[in-house]
Amino acid sequence: MANITAGMVKELRDKTGAGMMDCKAALTEVAGDIEAAVDWLRKKGLAKAAKKAGRVAAEGLIGLVVAGGKGVVVEVNSETDFVARNEQFQALVRGIADVALKAGDDVEAIKAAAYGAGGTVADAINSAVATIGEHMNLRRAKEISVAQGAVGSYVHGSVGEGLGKIGVLVALESTGKADELAALGRQIAMHVAAANPQALDAAGIDPDVVARERGVLAEKAKASGKPDNVVEKIVESGLKTFYKEVTLVDQAFVHDPSKTVAQAVKEAEGKVGAPIKLAGFVRFGLGEGVEKDESDFAAEVAKAAGQTAA
């Protein structure tokens, strides 16, 4: 039997909002597998769908830059959030984003690219590590571009031009007015930052994710005693609701929830003066998908002082 710890119960409760005892029962039932426990709770009707945004654990900054019809976003991590306020670190992240705009979004290629007056990006990172005294790492990068149109951008939690905690790029293909496209692109980028869609549309969702959602919906419907033909209708209806929650084009537009993002784009064609295609987006949230051990800061301070925390 798996050892179910209080930390595991807390993590599951944070993910699902289910009661403590229900979380413990779910973990016991599935031998401590957190994701399986989420599904178990959902099948019992005790939890909502978990939005896998990932626990934000890494520190540092997201940097982005846009030039013409191309944009790039990078994530540079550090050990503490204090470094994000350091002007040298901010300049480094901004400089790496500028390099990536020309070098592309392959991390190793960016590290090997020339930086500043001499040396490479890797050299610049090592120099910053030596000066600031913290481990740093270029974790990832992604570029997006359009042949005709605009790349909209938005940085949330900004600490400087193109620097913050969340960075978003949105690609709009159109032959219309560039200024109107850029304004629309920024609005949609703000929406992406807030709503965190999993994909552009239903076709872009991982088939495994869809299969998992279908399975949960089916088991939940069967548990309520519905016949097979009704179960299938419930599943299809549930999937449509799921797509509205996780796909960009079907989400309610945060600037006007009475319409979807797709409808907002269609309506904007009048101002732009030409058809618009929402071609793609990139969203980087600082530290998403990276976990670090939680620590008791008071206990650490007490330990350093040779005391025992109360």
- What pLDDT digit, counting tens, does each position of 208-264 carry? 888 888 888 888 888 878 787 888 888 888 888 888 899 999 999 999 999 999 999
Cα-based angle 9, 10, 14 (whole degrees, multiple of 5): 120
Q: Average pLDDT for residues 148-160, to the nearest whole number? A: 95
In the structure, what pLDDT confidence band is assigned to residue 303 with cuts at 50, 70 and 90? low
Q: Which residue has the higher pLDDT, 275 or 307?
A: 275
Pick the CATH number of 59-199+264-285 from 3.30.479.20, 1.10.3720.10, 1.20.58.220, 3.30.1330.10: 3.30.479.20
CB 92 within 8 Å of CB 76: yes
pLDDT at 97: 97
Q: Looking at the domain 1-47, which fold is it?
A: Helicase, Ruva Protein; domain 3 (1.10.8)
Q: Taking 50 as the threshold, does the pLDDT of residue 308 lie above it?
A: no
β-pairing verdict for 256-260 and 252-253:
antiparallel
- What pLDDT digit, counting tens, does each position of 79-131 carry? 888 888 899 999 999 999 999 999 999 999 999 999 988 899 999 999 888 88
Q: Taking 60 as the threshold, does the pLDDT of residue 293 lie above it?
A: no
| Whole-prediction pTM | 0.73
pLDDT at 310: 41
In angstroms, the CA 310 to CA 304 distance is 14
CB 10 within 8 Å of CB 16: no
- What pLDDT digit, counting tens, does each position of 123-149 carry? 999 988 888 888 889 999 999 999 999
Residue among 120, 58, 60 nearest 95 (CA): 120
In the structure, what pLDDT confidence band is assigned to residue 57 with cuts at 50, 70 and 90? very low
Domain ranges, ordered by start, for the chain: 1-47, 59-199+264-285
Q: Taking 50 as the threshold, does the pLDDT of residue 179 lie above it?
A: yes
Q: Taking 70 as the threshold, does the pLDDT of residue 54 lie above it?
A: no
pLDDT at 50: 45
CA distances from 65 to 102, 182, 248 (A): 11, 14, 22
pLDDT at 39: 85
278, two tokens: 């929402």
Handedness of CA 53, 54, 56, 59 (dihedral sign): negative
In the structure, what pLDDT confidence band is assigned to residue 292 with cuts at 50, 70 and 90? low
